[in-house]
Structure 1
C-alpha cells in the first residue's frame, strides 16, 4: 500500500502550526493561573528600610525602598518648586496616589512653575483617558504607540518609554524603578534614588533631549548649559531612535571587573547569552554572585521565561534567592563594595535593547555600602533555590519552560 505523499512545505506548516498551538495553550494556561493567583493574593508583607542619605560627588544620594516614603518626598519637592518641573513615568495610575501627583503638579503650574510631563501611551491603556486631561498651562505629552505615520516599519520607533524620572528646579532629581500608583506605594518593594549635585544636570539633559525630539506641538526646552566632566556618578540612557543602548555594556563591563562579589536585584531576569556567560565567568574565578528575583512577579510569563536560565546559573555557581510576600520591582546591582547602579532597566531584552531607559552608575563606596545593606535586608525575606530543588520540579513544568523558550528574545 502506498502512503500519501506530503510536500515538505505542508509538513513544515503543520509542524509550525502544532508548535504555535502548544505555545498558545501554554500561555493561556499561565494566564488563567495568574488571574487566580492575583485574586487569592494576600496583603503584601516585607521588611522596610527608612530612607537614608550618603554623599556623592558634589551632592547627596538618598535611597528609597518603600513607595509611600518616596511619594511623600517627591510631592514635597513638587510643592517647593519655584521654576520648573520635568517628569516622565512609564505607568501613571488614576488612583488616589496618581490624583495626588496630578493635583500637586497643577497647583505648581498655577503658581507659575513650568511643568512638563510625559507618560507612555501603551503602559496606560487601562487608565481612563480623561485622567490625562490637564489645564492648558501644563505641558503634557504621551509617548505614542509608534513614532510617525509608517514608523512601525522601523523597529527603532517601537520602544516604550520605560523611564521614571523627575527633576525640580535643576537642583534635585528622582530616578529609579517606581511608577506612580497606590499599589506601588505600599505593596511593592522597589528602589529609587533622590540625587543632588552635578549629576542632576545630566539627568535633566536626558529629559530635555527626549522632549525636544518627541513629535507634536509643544514648547522646546533650552539645552542644559553646565555639565561636569569629572564625577564618580554617570548617567546612562538607552535611546531606541538612535539605536543607542549603553546600559547593557555598562553591566557587562562591571561584571567582568568583579573580583569579590556581584549582588543583583531584578524584577524581570531574562538575560542574553553574553550576560549569562559573564556571570558564569565571574563565579568560575571565585566571585560570589547572588541574584534576588520575585518568587512570583506581576508578569507570570516573565517568570517562566526567567526560569529557563535557572539550571544553567545554579549549576555554574550563581546563588538564586526568591523574594517572598511582595513583588520586588527593583533594578539594582552592587559589585565589590565599589560599583553600583540604580535605574529603570531590567535585565531583559525589552530594557537592554528595546526601551527608553535611564540608569545611574556610581563608583562610590558609600553608595555600595548602602545598597549592600538593602540587599542584606531583602535576603532576610527570601528563600534560596538550590540546584537539587530545581532539578526535582515536575516534568510538565520543564516541558512548559521549553515550549516558551523562543519568546526570550522578545521580553
Structure 2
C-alpha cells in the first residue's frame, strides 16, 4: 500500500513516518534508547496490544531512571484503565490527564489536547497525527489507518522539550509560548514547529494553511480526515482555483465518524464547482492531516481542517520547507491517489439522490451545531 522507507535519501534527521509498524517500531526504539527524559503527549492511548507494547517500553525506561512524563487527553483517553494508570505510576512513570472530562464539581467537554508528540533527551522528536492504538498499527488481516508523522533530530528538539515540560507542569509561560524559529535540517531545508491553541492566541497552523494556499502557484495536495473547513479556508481554496492552481483533496471514503463523513459529502458539489479534484480513500480509515503545496512546502501533524482544530483544541504540526522532502512526499501521495475513487460531477450525480442529499445536509447542520457548542464551551469558561 505505502512504502516503508524514504527512498530519495532525505537525511536521517528528517524522516517521513507512516502509520503501522514503521511508526511504532521507531517509537519503541526511541523509548528504549532514551537516557534521561521522555515526554509523550497524546490524544488517544488505548489499553490494547499496541498500547501495552508502548507501556512496557516506558516502564523499562523508567526502571533505568529515565524521567518519563506522559500527558493524555481527558476525553480521548477516557477509557484508559485506572489499574494500568496505577501500575505505571508505581513503576516510576509520571502520568496525568489534560482537562479531565469529569473532575470535582464539574463536567468539561471543550478544549482538548489533540497533539501527538514524543520528545526524548531533547534530541529526537516524533510529531504527527498517529495515536497509540491497534488501529494505527494494523495487523496481518487489517490495514492500519492511513496517517503520517515526522521524525526530527537536532536542535529543534530542545525548545520543544521545554514546551512539553511547561504544559505538563501547568506552567503559565507555556500559555503564550511559541517556537518562532526555523531550524535548519540540511542544506536548503528548514523546519518549524507550528501550534494552534486559539484561546491562547496561537493560530499558527490555521494561518499557515491559509497563507500557503493563497500563495500557491501550481499545485495543492491535501489529505483531510474530518474535512469541514471554515469559511477562510474555503475562500483560500476558491482563490487558488481561480488562479489556475491544481487542487487535489484526498478525503475519507470510510470513516470512524460517519456523521462527519456525511457532512463532508455535503460540500462535494461546492468543491467540484471550484474545479477541485476529489479523491476518496477506501483502503482503510483515513486519519491523516497533511498538505504539500508547490512541491516545496509541507505540513504534517494533528491539525484537521475543521473548526474543532481551529478553535477548540491544542494542535501541533511541523512545517517543512524542502523541495527534496516535498517531492518525495508528493510522489507518495500521487500513489495514494491512484488507489482512490475519483469523485466527479458525473459520479456524484449518479450516487446521490434527494434522500442522500437530505441526509448529507442534516449531517452537516448537526455537525456544525456540535462544533459551535464544543468550541463555545471552553471560550466561555476561559473568559470567566
Q: So what's the TM-score if we normalise by structure 2?
A: 0.85
Counterparts of residues 333-348 of structure 1 (less than 5 Å): 333-348=291-306
- Is 1:212 the counterpart of 2:169? The answer is yes
- Is 1:233 the counterpart of 2:191? The answer is yes
**Distance in 1 of aligned mates of 2:341 and 2:154:** 38
- Is 1:370 the counterpart of 2:328? The answer is yes
**Distance in 1 of aligned mates of 2:363 and 2:147:** 27
8 Å contact from structure 2 (residues 148, 288) kept in 1: yes
- Is 1:143 the counterpart of 2:101? The answer is no
- Is 1:168 the counterpart of 2:127? The answer is no
**Distance in 1 of aligned mates of 2:6 and 2:204:** 29
- Is 1:398 the counterpart of 2:357? The answer is yes
8 Å contact from structure 1 (residues 198, 228) kept in 2: no
**Secondary structure of residue in 1 paired with 2:193:** strand
**Distance in 2 of aligned mates of 1:124 and 1:65:** 22
**Distance in 1 of aligned mates of 2:339 and 2:83:** 40
Q: So what's the TM-score if we normalise by structure 1?
A: 0.80
For residues 16-48 of structure 1, the C-alpha deviation after alignment (integer angstroms, 9 at most, x for no partner) is xxxxxxxxxxxxxxxxxxxxxxxxxxxxxxx12
Q: CA deviation at 1:229?
A: 5.8
Which residue of 53, 71, 95 corresponds with 1:118? 71
8 Å contact from structure 2 (residues 228, 306) kept in 1: yes
8 Å contact from structure 2 (residues 6, 15) kept in 1: yes
- Is 1:196 the counterpart of 2:149? The answer is no
* 1:151–1:374 Cα change, 3 Å: farther
**Secondary structure of residue in 2 paired with 1:271:** coil
8 Å contact from structure 1 (residues 87, 167) kept in 2: yes
**Secondary structure of residue in 1 paired with 2:3:** coil
8 Å contact from structure 1 (residues 159, 240) kept in 2: no
**Distance in 2 of aligned mates of 1:358 and 1:150:** 31
**Distance in 1 of aligned mates of 2:253 and 2:183:** 40
Which residue of 65, 83, 90 corresponds with 2:36? 83
**Distance in 2 of aligned mates of 1:365 and 1:66:** 23
- Is 1:94 the counterpart of 2:32? The answer is no
8 Å contact from structure 2 (residues 182, 191) kept in 1: no
What residue in structure 1 maps to residue 4 of structure 2?
50
Which blocks of at least 5 consecutive residues in structure 2 are unaligned?
A: 139-143, 185-189, 372-384
